[in-house]
Amino acid sequence: MERDRLYEVDALRLLAALCVVLYHYTFSGWSKNETAVVFAAESTVTRYGYLGVDLFFLISGFVVLMSAWGRTPRQFAVSRLVRLYPAYWFGIAVTSIVILTLGQGLYQVTPVQFLANLTMLQAVADIPNVDVVYWTLWSEMRFYFIILALTLVGMTKTRVLGVMWGWLALTFAVQAGLLPQAADLMVQSEFSHYFVGGMALFLLYRFGMSWQIALLVPICLGNAVYQAVRYANAVGERYHVSYSAVAVGAVVVAIFLVMTLVALRVTKPLGRPGMVTAGALTYPLYLLHASIGFVLFNLLDDYVNAYVLLAGVIVLMLAAAYGVHRVVEQPLAPRLKRWALGKQPVPA
């Protein structure tokens, strides 16, 4: 299958990342006493920015299945590993250096923690992440295992739909307490509806509407709203603030609506080739912004106006993300991919 570039999805990915960045910088950072720069008024809106992660997961369900379609298991595994690890290793190294040299004891990084984080499997051993945002990568990895299994048995619409219905059934079984909590290690009932919903929307994009897709997407949306409201209550308790269930539900509905419009190709005319750069910035920005950003806030808040500092740190993080893309991802990923696929060795 020809993989058409969905430029508008690149823009959506960067939008999701910026929502998370604003959530951290203008709400969670000072709420957890990680920075002294307070944005009390702005946080009434930006406290909802964590829902950018929900958009990430819905997009992942769509684009990861899209990227796997027609590929061998080896091709898919290599494409994912090469996509994730080079920038991730660089992010861990830079974040650790900044924490150890400029962090003023705000965070800790031990040698064991550093080495475990390099695998991206630190959650299995219950070892803390070097940066708090890395938790989402373990969720993504577990989704990749499911897609990898589909490539092993052969990717067909019927098999994919069967896996999606089975995954939803297990999700509801976990939520109802019919399965042990250990089963949630792979089920991921808190976010599975986004991955399944994204997969369903890709099938809509590729094959058109069917009765199964017409059922799957609303079911996923309903569970997404239910879980998002529950999670918002937990976040509110953690930070001693209140979240509007209506607002949370509206954001989740908007996320599904936008991606449905993408699947229906309604947004296609909005896409521009320049949006590829926006998509390229997303992953390194996500990896770098949190702990490093908080360290910078703490170093500079006595000398720089809060809003100037906020804008400056965001611009700096975007510039750093662009640098990682150009200096790390662009030159290294293709070479690693060729080597892993046995096409040619990586030059010394």
Mean pLDDT across 5-23: 96
pLDDT at 318: 98
Mean pLDDT across 277-292: 96
Please provide residue 46's backbone torsions phi and psi, each rounded to the nearest 5 degrees. -70, -15
Mean pLDDT of the chain: 94
Report residue 343's pLDDT band, with 50, 70 and 90 as the boundaries: low
Please provide residue 90's backbone torsions phi and psi, each rounded to the nearest 5 degrees. -65, -45
Could you give the percent of the chain with pLDDT greater than 90?
A: 91
pLDDT at 347: 41
Q: What is the pTM of this model?
A: 0.94
Burial class of residue 234, CB neighbours in 10 A (0-12, 13-18, 19+): exposed
> What's the CA angle centered on 116, arms 113 and 120, to 5 degrees?
120
Q: Is the pLDDT of residue 43 over 90?
A: yes
Q: pLDDT digits over 243-278, tens only?
A: 999 999 999 999 999 999 999 999 999 999 999 999
What is the per-residue DSSP string for 170-228?
Answer: HHHHHHTT-S-GGGHHHH-TTTHHHHHHHHHHHHHHHH---HHHHHHHHHHHHHHHHHH
Say which residue, 336 or 111, is predicted with more confidence. 111
Mean pLDDT across 69-97: 95
Q: pLDDT digits over 148-192, tens only?
A: 999 999 999 999 999 999 999 999 999 999 999 899 999 999 999
Q: Nearest Cα to 221, choosing from 9, 63, 58? A: 58
